Structure 1
Amino acid sequence: MTEVPETLQLAAPEQAISLLLGVIEATAAGPEVEPLAGAVARLISEATATDACFVHVLDDSGTSLTLAGATPPFDEHVGTVRLPLGSGVSGWVAAHREPAVIVEDKPQDARYIAFPALRGEDFVSMASVPMTSELAGLVGVLNVHTRERREFTSRDVQLLLTIGNLVAAALHQARLHRRLAARERAHERFAERVVAAQESERRRLAGDLHDGVTQRLVSLIYYLDAAEHAPHEDAVRQLRHAHELAELSLDEARAAIGGLRPPVLDDLGLAGGLASLASSFPGVEVTVRTSSCRLPDHVEIALFRVAQEALHNVAQHAAARTASVSLVVRPDDRAELRIRDDGCGFDPPPADEHAGGYGLTSMNERVELVGGTLRVSSRPGGGTVVEAVVPLGGTDGGWPGSATADQVGRRDRSFLP
């Protein structure tokens, strides 16, 4: 057994004080998560004479850890290594919020899972502690590793816990700063897209009206003129054609108006709109449960578009038999929209990287712009859940109940937009 010199023990008072001062200085350097985590990892590794230090930060979904800081050469994997809660030693520490120490024979520990990028087989001993703060709760996990066998005493673990809690507060502030910056960027991108979309929508609408409604109205006038001067039988035939053209023009006008803002929202609100939406996907059995209250206009349109995109994904990509849509208004003045399906599922991107297909970027931006959060949970073969939570700040009245999809469908077809 290799004896560890006293100078390498974590609990040496002068080392502890120097380390804590270094951590405080690092936390004051700036609001970015990765530079802070990287600086802390290097400080801890140097001060504790350990061979590697990893700082894993809980992501915004609260379901997995992401490597946010590490000593070289592992710093090249920052942002790419993700550990689900409960998976591996770090995942176990995060799930139980308890320290874990492995002196040797890591592969024999039931909690251990090898992550090739972190080269766990190169290290014999490790200590892992949760990073928590009173304000944010669990923020992440801090790990130190050694190539030689090493005993980590209770004082060592306590010092790592102290450092972890100190870093947790700074990391929490850095995460809040990152979310705020991301929201500001989303606002900027959205403003740019709004301007571009307005012009594109105007061109599309003008084209639709010119090629569809306008041309049919011209034909309608032609048939009406012909009927005016035609014998009785010919006039009846011309009027029949005119009636058909009028109906087609009405359908196209409704479609154009619905593309700008669903009229059913103005007539029945979000609950009725969701019921009407559910009836428009005949290939999937969609059930709808809603709270009977009217929401602010900007919230209703945002949640309606999220449900529309999510159900479109269900119909086009999920190969699902059933889906459910629920809208609940909580006592703490939050609206929660949840769309669940029993389809094939997929591997969603991390919570802070809503990108790629399935309209995740669009849904996420819509929800963020009304002050809410979007969460997508899925796995291959396990279906998908899309959940949007939006603060309301008060509602503007209610109605006596929510409508069924059939009732809304009949009513929606009965009025002229």
Structure 2
Amino acid sequence: MTETSEEPTPDGSMPSAVPDAEQLASRFEADGVLLYLIDGQELSIVDIWPPHASAGTLKLQVGFGVTGLVARTRKPVLINADSPRNALHRRLLRLEPRQTVARMCVPLPGLEGEMVGVLAVHRSPDRPFDQADLDDAESLAALLGLQLHANRLWRAVSRHRTERDRLIEQAISAQEAERRRIAFDLHDGVTTALASMSFHLSSADLTVSRLEAGEPEGAGRRDAFDSVRQELATTRGLVDLAYNQTRAAISGLHSLVLDDLGLVAAIESLVQSAGRPGGPRIDFFVDPEADVDEVPDHAAAALYRIAQEVLSNAVKHSAAKRIVISLRRVGDSMVLGCADDGTGFDPEERLTARAQDNDGAQHFGLSSVAERCAMMEASLRIESAPGRGTTVLVELPLR
């Protein structure tokens, strides 16, 4: 007996002894075969013979129609003359108006008896399927079901991989955007302050040199001393400005309060720093039952960043009179909330498009919040409407 080596198929899987739709059609002397995969409450076609360009768009509901009932009841069906009402389904079966078809639908079990699909075979009503056909189809059901189960698992893996790659890409983009923001802050704030300090110190140094040379004299000399004092006072103010802006940039990178005093103190610090004269009133409420010590360090850091983002958005964009930040325990979850009475917005538009600042600089806003939630498997709920304020709720499972 000669051994043969199997080569992977183009999609990376190994060739299988499981018959495809064309082979099944030949086996049952059928006009066509549709192989359905159950995904939640829908059935979708994963293999069809003869091929049809619209096969991928047909979605049948579990429990409705012949195929859906087979998926729900797990019982095979033989019909001598059927006339499906779904127009796309009829096109896939290549039926003319008022034309009927003989059908055989067999449930396909996967691992541990889980229902994963339906085999649907059809041919002319002149040659209805009989018990021998059904016995033959049921002999293949387990093999076809295992293949479909593997197909479904592969699809799930592919979806998770795609989602993971998307999150990684967006996380990197968010990091780069944050670096650009910090660079702009340093350039427009600290660098400008340092350049002004240099100018004022140079002016003071020039005046001191003139005073050392004995000029000017009289009243002009007193004016020169006053000028030096004024330059030094201005420089001192610029030093304070550069110091505060540097601290703000460092705080934007990492919260020392979070490390030293924990999540509650860090959010309290955010609330205090976000307040401004003429701005909205900002309150922070903590549920006494919320044991924040149960929140892992990485999750606490993510919740802090989310609080920072939603609070910043509310202060800058909501035109609210009052903002309420809350941290509470709900069952086995920690819930962070931010509610305002501002102008509100359309959440769908905001989540699918990056907002633009007035100066054209991009910021990630709620998309950044959604990405952080996805990475720590927290749920995000946004309730808002134009003129009705905004509520953002982040629920983090603790177990």
* TM-score with structure 1 setting the length: 0.49
Q: Distance in 2 between matches of 1:277 and 1:39?
A: 63
1:51 aligns to 2:32 (yes or no)? yes
Specify the code of the residue in structure 1 equivalent to 2:186: L
1:205 aligns to 2:182 (yes or no)? yes
2:151 aligned residue (171, 189, 210) = 171
The residue number in structure 1 matching 2:122 is 146
Find the residue that maps to 1:214 and give its secondary structure. Answer: helix
> What per-residue deviation string (whole Å, max 9, x for no partner) do you get for residues 88-130 of structure 1?
7666666x464574832433xxxxx555797467374462636
> What per-residue deviation string (whole Å, max 9, x for no partner) do you get for residues 387-406 of structure 1?
887787xxxxxxxxxxxxxx
> What per-residue deviation string (whole Å, max 9, x for no partner) do you get for residues 24-82 of structure 1?
xx9x979868998x974444444343513133252xxx56555444334236654x555
Specify the code of the residue in structure 1 equivalent to 2:296: P
Instruction: Check whether the contact 1:217–1:245 (CA below 8 A) recurs between aligned residues.
Output: yes
Q: Distance in 2 between matches of 1:326 and 1:84?
A: 41
Specify the code of the residue in structure 2 equivalent to 1:167: Q
CA distance 1:220–1:299, shift in 2 (3 Å): same
Instruction: Check whether the contact 1:323–1:340 (CA below 8 A) recurs between aligned residues.
Output: yes
Aligned length: 337
Find the residue that maps to 1:216 and give its secondary structure. Answer: helix
1:129 aligns to 2:107 (yes or no)? yes
Q: Distance in 1 between matches of 2:391 and 2:66?
A: 28
1:266 aligns to 2:246 (yes or no)? no
> What per-residue deviation string (whole Å, max 9, x for no partner) do you get for residues 161-210 of structure 1?
5345322442355346536754785698589x48x956x76565344213
The residue number in structure 2 matching 1:292 is 292
* TM-score with structure 2 setting the length: 0.51
> What per-residue deviation string (whole Å, max 9, x for no partner) do you get for residues 272-295 of structure 1?
767888997979999997653343
The residue number in structure 1 matching 2:193 is 216
CA distance 1:100–1:364, shift in 2 (3 Å): farther
Q: Distance in 2 between matches of 1:286 and 1:105?
A: 63
Q: Which moved more, 1:170-179 or 1:278-287?
A: 278-287
Structure 1 unpaired stretches of 5+: 1-25, 108-112, 348-354, 393-417
Instruction: Check whether the contact 1:286–1:323 (CA below 8 A) recurs between aligned residues.
Output: yes
The residue number in structure 2 matching 1:17 is none
CA distance 1:43–1:297, shift in 2 (3 Å): farther
Alignment of 1:24-39 (within 5 A): none
Structure 2 unpaired stretches of 5+: 1-5, 209-221, 355-363
The residue number in structure 1 matching 2:250 is 257
Specify the code of the residue in structure 2 equivalent to 1:293: D
Identity %: 25
Find the residue that maps to 1:134 and give its secondary structure. Answer: helix
CA distance 1:72–1:120, shift in 2 (3 Å): closer
Specify the code of the residue in structure 2 equivalent to 1:170: A
Instruction: Check whether the contact 1:271–1:327 (CA below 8 A) recurs between aligned residues.
Output: no
Shift of 1:215: 1.9
Shift of 1:146: 1.9
Alignment of 1:179-258 (within 5 A): 182=162, 193=172, 204-217=181-194, 219=196, 249=242, 252-253=245-246, 255-258=248-251
The residue number in structure 2 matching 1:71 is 49
Alignment of 1:346-357 (within 5 A): 346=348, 357=353
The residue number in structure 1 matching 2:357 is none
Give RMSD over aligned pairs.
6.6
CA distance 1:302–1:152, shift in 2 (3 Å): farther
Find the residue that maps to 1:74 and give its secondary structure. Answer: coil
Specify the code of the residue in structure 1 equivalent to 2:111: S
Alignment of 1:362-373 (within 5 A): 373=377
Q: Distance in 2 between matches of 1:216 and 1:45?
A: 79
Specify the code of the residue in structure 2 equivalent to 1:213: V
Q: Which moved more, 1:125-134 or 1:231-240?
A: 231-240
Q: Highest CA radius of gyration, 1 or 2?
A: 2
Instruction: Check whether the contact 2:197–2:238 (CA below 8 A) recurs between aligned residues.
Output: yes
Specify the code of the residue in structure 1 equivalent to 2:295: L
CA distance 1:179–1:152, shift in 2 (3 Å): farther
Instruction: Check whether the contact 1:327–1:338 (CA below 8 A) recurs between aligned residues.
Output: yes
